[in-house]
Structure 1
Amino acid sequence: MTRSSIIALVAIGGALSACNAQSDVQGEESDVPSQVSQTAAVRYSGFSEPERVLYDAARDRYLVSNVNGETAAKDGNGFISVLSPDGSISDLEWIKGGEAGVTLHAPKGLAIAGGVLYVADIDVVRKFDAETGKAMGQIDVPGSTFLNGLTAAGDGRLYLSDSGPPLGFLDGYGTEAVYVIEGDEVQLLAEGPLGRPTSLQPTQGGVIVASFGANEVFEIDGQGNKGKVSQLPAGGLAGIVKHGPWLYATSWQASAIFRGKLGEPFEVAAGDLVAPSDLGYDSKRGRLIVPCFTENTVDVLELQ
């Protein structure tokens, strides 16, 4: 997907304001706080197309991938930022393409497992020391064209999505896929059509997938079979996180975050968001951390 096609997609959602939650949802009661604050508790700015936020619980910090250019260009200028939960930016360019032996083009999905930071970067997964940021090599993913979502399961396995060639929004894609990575070995779990799989959340036996080219959130089991499905009110789903029984999915088309349970209806939890991308969840503070791709901001929304 080119930058121009991304901006065109944002327009589908209608008139947009700053990346800022403006609405609450009154949903079913739960022991787990599930409503989203109406306004950002903290806003970070100064990024360059922030695509993914990962909460690094071991170090109590937020990591942000910055595409910094065309989303599929091998231009060598992508970078990873480090944010403090107190609202400050610890290091805007902690890991930067072209410096200290680092190759990083258009980083998207982030995951940490076994002290290693894994980064989805177009057609490879790059590895860095999660403490120092030192480059540790890469994992090739043959045949991939637009690696996107990345998540770590409790057993150390990684799940990785390939959204397909970046040629448009609703075109057919031959490389749509979800992979499992164990060690440095990549195995195909499921392949398209999958509605342009983007963000991923691990389950006990598989993974939950958000689709950018459709309005579906669905589960894939350990054998690659599609299970429970939720049809959301709008598509362009770019991020998904889990908090208790609730799933939160960002939608570019609706300029919103949807909330729901897999296999059940979803509803708007926060609106008036500009290009909300692959959000993170701060489990220590009960926060959604939302990167706004075209606004170059990251917003912190409290769960109440």
Structure 2
Amino acid sequence: MKFSAKSYTPLVFSIGAVVGLAMACGTATTNQESEGTVAAEEPVEPGLELLWETPAELTTNESVHFEESGDILYVANIEGGPDEKDGVGSISKVSTSGEILERDWVTGLHAPKGMTVMNDHLYVTDIDHLVEIDLATGEITETYEVEGAVFLNDATSDGKKVFFSDMRTNTIHYLEDGGIHTFATEQKSINGLRIGNGGILYGLDAEGLKQYNSDGSFELINTEVTGGDGLIVLDEQTFIASRWAGEIYLVQEGKATKILDTTEEESNTADIGFIPDENIVLVPTFFKNKVVAYQLTY
């Protein structure tokens, strides 16, 4: 078949128009996808937003523990001196919305600090003893004397053992099958402890944030947050750490970012707790006598 110039020219023009339109559409789509990708990858500024606070009735509250099985918060109140055996310390029960349910759920303690739950019992450090409390009744079922202990502080559990720190003897102990054992020594001013994924123990001391091996040896993850108090493990690369004076940090891939500073208000940030399903950080304010909840974004 023969084509005349008149019949061929419009065909060329039509093909060119189609190609041009396709290129334009492709460019627009690519630009939109590129813009969408940039928007999706834009980093979120880490921070804490105030949600609620309890009435100021939790005297010298040092730690908060969220117990998922009962959807309840346990708060340890020193009330007297942090190393005085005065029998005035207590544990309170608080709702996850900040209502004080039982101010004096457990009484007669001395200076209760770190808490953890294992086998339906709450374990609380109390100067030189580890106290075991039945969650169902609030009764003290056992008190373990820790030989040589001076200032027991934080506690955590992997479901088989209860690990707890002594800040003044620089030691991590653990309870297993009714016996007290030593896990690690020479951990200067060791305080915050938390079990992460895979049963790995993490801790905060004067050197920084540490990841412990099963034999008590360790690797330093971060050296910025020294002298930390409370510790939360979000995953193997992400942590929240508090300093008692009023600072909270988000540690990601070894780098620390301060996300709260209440030092000017003289509001302490002691042994923090966490509600994982809602990303809520629970802050015991010590001398302010209340627990404050914050929404975490990161």
Band of TM-score, shorter chain: 0.7 to 0.9
Matched positions, count: 251
Cα deviations by residue, 1:117-168 (Å, 9 ceiling, x for unpaired): 1110001101110121011011121111110010011x3211110001xxxx
- Change over 3 Å in CA distance of 1:144–1:34 after alignment to 2: farther
Q: CA deviation at 1:302?
A: 0.7
1:207 aligned partner: 201
Out of 259, 280, 283, which is 1:287 matched to? 280
| Equivalent residue number for residue 112 of structure 2 | 107
Three-state SS of the structure 2 residue aligned to 1:284 is: helix
The CA distance in 2 between the partners of 1:156 and 1:29, in whole Å, is: 41
Letter in 1 for 2:257: E
Within a 5 Å distance, the mapping from 1:50-129 to structure 2 comes to 50-97=61-108, 104-129=109-134
Q: What SS does the aligned partner of 1:276 have?
A: coil
Structure 2 matches for 1:176-187, cutoff 5 A? 176-187=170-181
Structure 2, unpaired ranges of 5+ = 1-40
Alignment-derived partner of residue 171 in structure 1: none
Larger RCO (alpha carbons 8 Å, 6+ apart): 1
Q: TM-score, normalised by structure 1?
A: 0.78
String of CA shifts for 1:275-302, please: whole Å, max 9, x gaps: 2000001123220000011211111001
User: 1:6 — aligned with what?
Assistant: none
Q: Which residue, 234, 251, 254 being the options, matches 1:243?
A: 234
* Corresponding residue for residue 41 of structure 1: 51
Letter in 2 for 1:186: I
- 2:36 alignment counterpart: none
Query: Alignment partner of 2:212: what SS?
Result: strand
Greater helix share, structure number? 2
Distance 2:95 2:228 in 1: 27
2:252 match = 261
How far has the Cα of 1:115 moved from its partner?
Answer: 0.5
SS in 2 for 1:249: strand
2:278 pairs with 1:271: no
Change in CA separation of 1:290 and 1:224 when aligned onto 2, cut-off 3 Å: same
Q: Give the Cα–Cα distance (whole angstroms) in 2 for the partners of residues 270 and 215 of structure 1.
A: 21
Q: Which amino acid in structure 1 is aligned with residue 232 of structure 2?
A: V
- Aligned partners of 2:112, 2:172: CA distance in 1, in Å? 17
**CA RMSD of superposed structures (Å):** 1.9
Letter in 2 for 1:284: D
Whole-Å separation in 2 of the counterparts to 1:35 and 1:158: 31
Unaligned regions of 5+ residues in structure 1, if any? 1-27, 98-103, 165-174
Q: Name which of structure 1's ranges 113-122 and 279-288 shifts more when overlaid on structure 2.
A: 279-288
Matched with 1:132 is 137
Provide the rounded CA distance (Å) in 1 between the counterparts of 2:147 and 2:73. Answer: 30
What secondary structure is seen at the aligned counterpart in 2 of 1:136? strand
User: Sequence identity, in percent?
Assistant: 25
Q: Report the 3-state secondary structure (helix = DSSP H, G, I; strand = E; otherwise coil) of the residue aligned with 1:42.
A: strand
Instruction: Work out whether 1:231 is the aligned partner of 2:241.
Output: no
TM-score, scaled relative to structure 2: 0.79
